[in-house]
Structure 1
């Protein structure tokens, strides 16, 4: 599953004003430091400016080192008594009542001890009959609290003897279910616009089984350490296509306008991976991959863009098969995007489901790498998660950590190491941001309160980062050979973390318990204070571990790491092992080093207090090859008082860097460019290969009121990437307002969030209240970060409106914020818009006239915000809402 967390945006959101200033579209720059006591961490990228790169001894305070309290494991693997071997489902649907009408035939076998009954998960199912295959009625009872059915069998069955139970039942998933951490609803099966009442929205049925929610639409053993083969016979109207796991064996006409599709999966997989999708789709067939069908289910308007929506699918199948040494093991690969999906995406075996955020035309998706990362994530699950499955949710990182790391692996393969390392930085930021509102916990987390808590930035982001560290420690050959051994040894089975460790130890011959103990079975990460000193032909590097030891965080991490000492532009590498709370390493150096780079591979998940002078940062940019060295140096230099010529030299080089994020951070760091830099900015604005960097350059030239802005704006309006067109429109406003107005009228026909965002900024700045209906129409379409920007602009325009317009607009925003079926991003954006409008109107009471009507609106917004906070089910949103 691909989970989207909102907490990483908290700091950014709180800086977005209630006016219409557009947030930068270039990659985020390191946050400038503001005081001499701030420290660097990889979440905020804040670095303390210094003049000598040295930390005084008295500045460092050692953290307490109490012994961790013993903790009792709670969330262990499910105790299996009967093994589910095969599931056969025969399904019809009552769309009006949102009901599943089903017949389930389950074949099981005792795991060890003889059984004369079986307990199955069956959340809210209504049983019409429970029989054996001969039709003999079987006695059963239902536990409402556990939502399980216990069936008394027709005899005692010993180990090796199969038994079969047949259920005729109905399910109405919409009547139950709650929200969790990873998904916004656990109903298991969802009817979308079932009665055709919701405008042009298509009618669909789709499922979401993870964690244990497929038992809301069929009886099963709904646990990750169970697996079985599967058959599904689904009867639908002819106008619908169906998608499920495995192979479509047949489609049979059964009555007027009705058809039964027969899907078969003859390789066992976990019940939470069962999937079913029904809807009006075009099925776009790609070329078979090694004889395996590859296809994309898309709404008709996106059929010609299917390969752009699901990019590089066949190429990834080859890459991951070769990388793991295990050929893709399943009979097909299908992908579909559905409406109103309750998560990011889900790795249902051979039938991956995505949210509609994936949709777009080829033009919409220029430079959008989100789609390919998510395609990689869900595909890699077909090895790590589907083929080899975590035995309990406590071990979820064995699924999700690998899937997250696949995004790094793919970016490295397809786009180079800079792109992969930039992605890794974003993963670190997501993990560290999550610690603002929640304490750290172990990757293998046995004492969670609710299994849904496992779907967090530990299992995903930290899990992937830990795998990256293990790869760097062992080397590629040992790492990937170990993964092949792990997959082959544990194929089609459930695993716990010890089996991953043993696979690496079997392959390498090394005892890796130290690594797994501190990174998987302990919490947290190192927090390091680093100082360097040069005296008498040697450089000393002192490393102090300062992490707090609460929540089972080790007082001392064992850290094998490299240190590069640069002298006259050349690095001498030293491998050290940090295994004490404080250690000093001394290396020979004929002269004072240009700069010392700790962990030059930048593979260590850690936070740092490591201060460098502007001269050291400049040397780091010039000489150190890694992305993060260059990215960090440019971002930090902008916050330091340093020689202008030195800083400008680095900025000029950064504007010409081969990687787009470095060019982007350089653009964000400039406020008074030199003539040479201005020339480079114009070149970037006219034709940078990365659209968001080009757009950022246009924005900068707009702020600078550049003399060539008019021509550049005109060129941008004819560009292909919509982000560039949007920046061009805002530049045109500054140079030719009438041309901008005419262009805006034409651009309204384009359904693209960059365009609608630019139009929203334009209309809010000019007070074009007649455009409120246009913006209201766009609000329901916006999603992701763009939704926050669009809603902010809408609120800014609403603030300039009449009382009736404001009252109507607030009511619409509140309805959106309260609707838990809406995207979390839309709910967040709507709530923030209400909060910002309330703050704006309150601050302008005297100016606007302190009327009863205005005070009533402000009071109603306050009451509405409290209602939104009380109704919200998403933990990330609840945390963000504390700021409103």
Structure 2
């Protein structure tokens, strides 16, 4: 009966799905995965029976799926069979993929079964938590899923997914989607089945298997919110994760509908402080009681919209994920605690951006990083990307900016975008040409360095303020300043910009509202001129 249900569901998926953004040169578009995974407490070997439903994008005699092969150290996966409708298919397993000798014509759909087993070299972290209890946590970002999941391990190939996990009965299992059922098995084991019908990249497909204390903390318009924490941390864990009840409706109201059918906040053991797995966010072990838990949760929940539902086409455009989550965190905290909180966070981010550029001078959209994408987790992707959104918000105004953000999410929910896709949406929403803005802030390395000086010798009763761009590449931007509590703006474009100020004045303050990603260097301090 279970196989019949799977077959019917796969036929449904293959019927309704369409080809979305794909990796360059892709032969196939995966529509749906079913991973039947068997775990045990005797060793770290996992056994997987995977079903991969896919559509051929073009005529081909074979295709590849990503999977790390068992190595000399004994880590990795060994494929034992590939079949279609019970018929054996020839395959060749290489170091990082499985080449499957199955022909297909463009538009045709197929479902392949792949059996494999082994000890994951990465991706599924099998370990013990701080209390010495055994745990299993998926940890796929950026392209580490194929250490344990046979897949197209690229953010542009999205698919729905079922996880059917068999494990010792004392464990609780969390995964993407909704729980379909939980069934006792012989030998004191149980099977837990989770299904996610939304389109996911492999980077956010996960399972978490541990001894958990579980709480449903809220129901937001029919959307259940759960907390999964280690039993020893249940009191402070449930208290810490309660911020989700505020954060989730805030982003729903500001951006658009939540893409998934639940939100689970999960204490875990992974390499990141937080990982935005779709509908099942993993937080680091010591997150319960952490002083920064609210901002961390806001960041990871914001990712459910940007990075998860609306994803980047490739990791070079990572700022569309991390920059968005960073700025949305600032925005949430601004609305809760006030504008000064936003200013303080932007100032701290500006320091990080300028410091990072001394170590690595590269644009935000950085295509020079190959294979290992971990270096893209940097101040460009996070803090500078966030700053770009802040300056765009100030350039367009709140009403137009948030209108564009909503339209961008609505258009790319379940799909993939790059920086130019986002630019076009914001141009349409605002009616403004934004190519120069996007090029200088996202595709050009560096930032403006403004040396500000002035003199009183040129014209009696006035001072002449000089703003000199000292960086090699010129920027176009507004620069705010305040004279005697009155606000003004000067447009900076050339190497040297000058403007006159009538005396007497008490002081001049530049960028008082923290709206410019620039270093401001004052030539002297006469007239109490301040940054």
Taking structure 2 as the reference length, what is the TM-score of the superposition?
A: 0.91
Q: Secondary structure at the match of 1:233?
A: strand
Alignment-derived partner of residue 101 in structure 1: 47
Aligned pairs for 1:100-249 within 5 A: 100-111=46-57, 113-124=58-69, 125-132=77-84, 134-144=85-95, 147-153=96-102, 156-173=103-120, 176=121, 187-193=122-128, 200-249=131-180
CA contact (8 A) 2:312 2:320 kept: yes
> Are 1:616 and 2:528 counterparts?
yes
> Are 1:596 and 2:508 counterparts?
yes
Q: Secondary structure at the match of 1:286?
A: strand
Specify which of 486, 492, 496 is matched with residue 582 of structure 1. 496
Structure 1 stretches of 4+ with a deviation exceeding 4 A read: none
Aligned pairs for 1:556-575 within 5 A: 556-566=474-484, 570-571=485-486, 573-575=487-489
Q: CA deviation at 1:575?
A: 2.2
Quick one: distance in 2 between partners of 1:599 and 1:330? 40
Alignment-derived partner of residue 4 in structure 2: none
What 5-or-longer segments of structure 1 have no aligned partner?
1-75, 177-186, 550-554, 621-628, 630-884
Q: CA deviation at 1:594?
A: 1.1
- Residues 432-482 of structure 1 show CA distances to partners (whole Å, capped at 9, x for unaligned) of 22233x232111111224422211111111111111111111111111101
Specify which of 278, 299, 303 is matched with residue 234 of structure 2. 303
CA contact (8 A) 1:311 1:375 kept: no
Q: CA deviation at 1:345?
A: 1.0
Alignment-derived partner of residue 443 in structure 1: 364
CA contact (8 A) 2:480 2:511 kept: yes
Q: CA deviation at 1:384?
A: 0.6
Quick one: distance in 1 between partners of 2:336 and 2:98? 49
- Residues 392-422 of structure 1 show CA distances to partners (whole Å, capped at 9, x for unaligned) of 1111111111011112111101111111211
- Residues 144-163 of structure 1 show CA distances to partners (whole Å, capped at 9, x for unaligned) of 2xx1111011xx42233211
- Residues 639-690 of structure 1 show CA distances to partners (whole Å, capped at 9, x for unaligned) of xxxxxxxxxxxxxxxxxxxxxxxxxxxxxxxxxxxxxxxxxxxxxxxxxxxx
Q: CA deviation at 1:301?
A: 2.5
Q: CA deviation at 1:612?
A: 5.9
Alignment-derived partner of residue 333 in structure 1: 263
What 5-or-longer segments of structure 2 have no aligned partner?
1-21, 70-76
Specify which of 194, 198, 221 is matched with residue 263 of structure 1. 194
> Are 1:422 and 2:344 counterparts?
yes
Quick one: distance in 1 between partners of 2:448 and 2:165? 53
> Are 1:347 and 2:280 counterparts?
no
Quick one: distance in 2 between partners of 1:78 and 1:452? 21
Structure with higher RCO (Cα < 8 A, 6+ apart): 1
Quick one: distance in 2 between partners of 1:161 and 1:79? 17
CA contact (8 A) 1:345 1:353 kept: yes
Q: Secondary structure at the match of 1:163?
A: strand
After superposing the two structures, state which structure 1 stretch, 376-385 or 442-451, moved more.
Answer: 442-451
Q: CA deviation at 1:611?
A: 5.1
Distance 1:541 1:199, change over 3 A: closer
Quick one: distance in 1 between partners of 2:136 and 2:159? 23
Q: CA deviation at 1:137?
A: 0.9
Q: Secondary structure at the match of 2:349?
A: helix
Q: Secondary structure at the match of 2:93?
A: strand
Q: CA deviation at 1:598?
A: 1.6
Specify which of 233, 240, 252 is matched with residue 183 of structure 2. 252
Specify which of 219, 222, 242 is matched with residue 288 of structure 1. 219
Distance 1:110 1:77, change over 3 A: closer
Quick one: distance in 1 between partners of 2:423 and 2:492? 22
Quick one: distance in 2 between partners of 1:400 and 1:306? 25
Alignment-derived partner of residue 377 in structure 1: 299
Specify which of 331, 351, 355 is matched with residue 409 of structure 1. 331
CA contact (8 A) 1:545 1:582 kept: yes
Quick one: distance in 2 between partners of 1:300 and 1:372? 21
Quick one: distance in 2 between partners of 1:556 and 1:472? 20
Quick one: distance in 1 between partners of 2:455 and 2:400? 36
Quick one: distance in 2 between partners of 1:338 and 1:308? 16
Quick one: distance in 2 between partners of 1:208 and 1:79? 27
CA contact (8 A) 1:83 1:108 kept: yes
Distance 1:200 1:379, change over 3 A: closer
Q: CA deviation at 1:311?
A: 4.2
Alignment-derived partner of residue 436 in structure 2: 514
Q: CA deviation at 1:78?
A: 3.5
CA contact (8 A) 2:229 2:238 kept: no
Alignment-derived partner of residue 462 in structure 2: 538
> Are 1:88 and 2:34 counterparts?
yes
CA contact (8 A) 1:88 1:104 kept: yes
CA contact (8 A) 1:242 1:279 kept: yes
> Are 1:387 and 2:301 counterparts?
no
CA contact (8 A) 1:539 1:592 kept: no
Q: CA deviation at 1:192?
A: 1.0
Alignment-derived partner of residue 478 in structure 1: 400
Quick one: distance in 1 between partners of 2:169 and 2:24? 41
CA contact (8 A) 2:252 2:258 kept: yes
Quick one: distance in 2 between partners of 1:521 and 1:446? 10
Q: CA deviation at 1:105?
A: 0.3
Quick one: distance in 1 between partners of 2:526 and 2:138? 55
Quick one: distance in 2 between partners of 1:200 and 1:604? 47
Distance 1:222 1:586, change over 3 A: same
Distance 1:498 1:254, change over 3 A: same
Quick one: distance in 2 between partners of 1:98 and 1:311? 34
Q: CA deviation at 1:252?
A: 0.5
Distance 1:603 1:430, change over 3 A: same
> Are 1:79 and 2:14 counterparts?
no
Q: CA deviation at 1:107?
A: 0.4
For the pair shown, the structure with the greater C-alpha radius of gyration is 1
> Are 1:396 and 2:396 counterparts?
no
CA contact (8 A) 2:505 2:527 kept: no
Q: Secondary structure at the match of 2:39?
A: strand
Alignment-derived partner of residue 704 in structure 1: none
